[in-house]
Amino acid sequence: MAPKTKDDAELADFGRFSEPALLILVSLAEGPRHGYSMTEDIEAIAGVCLGPGTLYGALARLESRGLIEPLKSEDRRNPYRLTALGERALRARLDSMMAVARTGQRRLASA
């Protein structure tokens, strides 16, 4: 699905990490979480079990683009939170997906 806006394009060139990155952003939309909590949340909302290799590949990309940021933590599990840029990118991506879903449903209904 080609991006339509600049914010939507933030996730577009993540390659195989696009979907995990989107799921991570959705998980963080509820509030800061650490890696293990994200994998549990993502499994609950999408039925996808992200392995640590995929999870941290996507997290590193999101962090490098400034879409998420780590919070200071006492223990070894750093929580992450969405940045303003990440929130805009997630909103744009979801809007774009919703538009496709609405079109698909409308076409199915009229078929």
Partner 1 sequence: MNWLLHLYPARWRERYGDEFRAVLAGQRASLALFFDVLGGAVDAHLHPQILHSHANQTKGDDTMTLAMLQRCTAGGARLSPDDRRIASRVTTISALAIAVLSIVLTKIYREAAPVQALIYAAAPALSMVYAQTAYLRRRSWRVQAFLLGGGLSGMYLFMLAICLIAKRL
Q: Which of 59, 82, 89, 90 binds partner 1 (CB under 8 A)?
A: 59
Q: How far is CA 45 from the centre of its chain?
A: 12
Site for partner 1 in 78-107 (CB under 8 A): 78
- 53 touches partner 1 by CB under 8 A: yes
Residue 10 is classified by DSSP as: T
- 27 touches partner 1 by CB under 8 A: no
Q: In this complex, which beta carbon is closest to partner 1, that of residue 84 or of residue 111?
A: 84
- 72 touches partner 1 by CB under 8 A: no
What's the longest Cα–Cα distance across the chain?
A: 57
Q: Give the whole-angstrom CA distance, residue 31 versus residue 41.
A: 12
- Residue 53 makes CB contacts below 8 A (sequence gap 6+) with none
Q: Give the whole-angstrom CA distance, residue 16 versus residue 108.
A: 29
Q: How many residues bind partner 1 (CB under 8 A)?
A: 22
- 61 touches partner 1 by CB under 8 A: yes
Contact residues for partner 1, defined by CB under 8 A: 34-36, 39, 49, 51-57, 59-61, 63-66, 76-78
